[in-house]
Amino acid sequence: MLQTNPTYKWLCSLMCLLLLLAPQAFASDITSLKELSKEANAIIRSEETVFTVNSINSGTLRFKTTITILNENGDHKATLYVPYNKMSKVTNISGTSYDRFGKRIKKLKSSDIKDVSAISSISVYEDSRVKIASLEYSVYPYTVEFEYEVSESNMMFYPSLYPQDEEKLAVEKASLQVLVPQGSKLRYLENSHAPKAKVTQTATHQAYTWEVSNLKPVSREPYGPAFSEMVPMVLTAPNEFEVDGYRGSMETWKDFGLWINKLNNGRDKLPAETVAKLQQLTANAKSTEEKIRLVYDYMQGKTRYVSIQLGIGSWQPFEASFVDSKGYGDCKALSVYTQAMLKAVGVDSYYALIRAGEGTPDIKTEFPSSQFNHAILGVPMAQDTMWLECTSQTEAAGYNGSFTGDRHALLITPEGGKLVKTTAYGANDNLQIRSISAKVDEAGGAVAKVSTRYTGIQQESRDRVITNRKPEDQRKWLYENTSAPPFEIGKYSLTQKKDRIPSVTEDLELSLRQCATISGKRMFINPNLMSKWTHVPNQKEKRLTDVVRTLAYLDVDTVEIEVPVGYTVEYQPRDVEHKSVFGEYSATVKVNGQRLTYVRRMQMNKGRFAPESFAQLVEFYNKIIKSDAEQVVFVKNVQ
């Protein structure tokens, strides 16, 4: 069988690519193309975005792109998605694909363009739709061209320059141009990799233009910053805007909050009978927090979440009376409904906008604009703010967690918008506290009872298991997510405690087939039965980006193992302690007769650290792996 050299295959692909890119519209500098194609799945040959602001409530977006797909991992770039709604009209979608020799494969027909609901699976009221056109092909490389135009009447959103929006994507050239009427202002934010704006004048408009070229593929390093920090990005936004007849300003966060206030004004009215019911419900509450919990529990039991994306309804909540009657609403409506119920029992609260999502980067606080995707409720308390996630029927009152925690929210006060931080969770909030009691038999097997208390962010996965899985699926999940020597699960239980720092207690009865290894008269036991660290990130010669750790936590394991009568300890590891800017680790072993007691403590910090500290993180993890592998040796007394 003929063996193909990988380098030869790459060169062949490159030559085909050069053939494809040689003619006319695809012409380029061969040297730069060779560099761009290395480690790339696709190359954006050209991308042009032109946004013309006609007035405070009218604009036109023109977009054109040419993309060369190099392999199957780049195929998704051959599909175009154009979202729209009743405040936008899509026109002139066109597209063409070319094979590796520049020969046209296909030209889009109107019947090739799908028009589907954007979010219908979770939406009751919506007009959000998306046009989808695909020109995927099975022989690489191939090139696609797309072009479209959108007329906008929602002028809250201006386009951004962010062509290199994923790893292993190269950009030969891309540009953004925003034209605003003479006398108007354009606000923009350029990150550290972005070019500076070029400002020119026409008879009617002022044009701001940004251009980038020859951007090589970028890959995130382990524990690296958000991808958007590593590539050029320019955000643009208006000062004044209008949406569906509602005029506003986002020149400051205060101004934007005043616009939201205008949308929400008068929507917190409840029927008199509901007010009376709530007042009766909370009549015996001994504290404000108890009142909040009672109202929150009532809301969770009465409502369900649906998405509402209809015109200004994308921003304006339904009335509280509507939610009270129908029993459903989106994040905006449910937050206003909960706010109205708290008001009925004498508790003040504030509607808040936030960018939600686990791992989602925080908003750019220095750039007032519409960067949010969610609404929650903030209740001022004596010492802090109690946050309420109003779309969940199961979440604990006051818990932000990984979805909305440790980020900025825009609190909507009567005086306007105010940026505040949501709850940040430290190591002592995100606990895994485990106790294990095991008894080893002569063959090295064992029976063990394990009790683990998870709190904060560390309990979230098990909270979802309790909420979303049936008992038989819970057991399956436990098998897949329990790290231990070969085992069988006997009885198990998962018990929740709802609090501002919620917890889940997991109790397991395990049969361990190989808790100890027998060799002649010796018994070898690794006392770290369930918390071995295994992952060390790859270390390059030179780290380029900061080290970012976003989760702080503390794990403590206390393991007691009883060995059979007749064995005495021959070797036990020394106590160890490792310290680093990233965290602390300690492990101790004590043997008293037939009882071995092992205590392991591992705390990890969150923060942003200099690139050169990455070597320290790798060293720290390697030390932990070595310590976690230590064994205690027992020898059998021979009479």
Helix H or strand E segment including 511: strand 503-512
Chain mean pLDDT for the chain? 93
Helix orientation angle between 6-21 and 30-37, rounded to the nearest 10 degrees: 130
Distance from C-alpha of 579 to C-alpha of 627, rounded to nearest angstrom: 13
Which listed CATH number (1.10.3720.10, 3.30.70.3460, 3.10.620.30, 1.10.287.130) goes with 247-421? Answer: 3.10.620.30
Q: Dihedral, CA atoms, 241, 244, 247, 253, nearest 10 degrees?
A: -60
Cα-flanking dihedrals φ and ψ of residue 167, to 5°? Answer: -70, 155
> Smallest Cα–Cα separation from 587: which of 528, 634, 529?
528
Q: Are 120 and 129 in contact (CB under 8 A)?
A: no
* Amino acid 469: pLDDT: 96
> pLDDT digit string (tens) for 491-501?
999 999 999 99
User: Could you give the residue range(s) of every CATH 2.60.40.3140 domain in the chain?
Assistant: 6-242
Please identify every stretch of the chain with a pLDDT value under 70, giving residue numbers as ranges.
1-32, 119-127, 309-313, 639
Helix orientation angle between 331-344 and 288-302, rounded to the nearest 10 degrees: 140
Q: Are 225 and 548 in contact (CB under 8 A)?
A: yes
* Amino acid 321: pLDDT: 97
* Amino acid 639: pLDDT: 64
* Amino acid 313: pLDDT: 60
Fold classification of 431-636 is Jelly Rolls (2.60.120)
* Amino acid 309: pLDDT: 61
Distance from C-alpha of 115 to C-alpha of 125, rounded to nearest angstrom: 17
The tokens for 456 are 């904060």
User: Residue 560's CB: how many other CB atoms inside 10 A?
Assistant: 18
Distance from C-alpha of 87 to C-alpha of 244, rounded to nearest angstrom: 8
User: Could you give the residue range(s) of every CATH 3.10.620.30 domain in the chain?
Assistant: 247-421
pTM across the whole model = 0.90
Across-strand partners of 51?
61, 178
Fold classification of 6-242 is Immunoglobulin-like (2.60.40)
Q: Is the peptide bond before 573 cis (omega within 30 degrees of 0)?
A: no
> Smallest Cα–Cα separation from 163: which of 153, 175, 152?
175
Distance from C-alpha of 132 to C-alpha of 81, rounded to nearest angstrom: 5
> Smallest Cα–Cα separation from 237: which of 322, 157, 150?
157
* Length of the chain as a residue count: 639
SS (H, E, C) 264-292: HCCCCCCCHHHHHHHHHHCCCCCCHHHHH
User: Could you give the residue range(s) of every CATH 2.60.120.1130 domain in the chain?
Assistant: 431-636
> pLDDT digit string (tens) for 529-577?
999 999 999 888 899 999 999 999 999 999 999 999 999 999 999 999 9
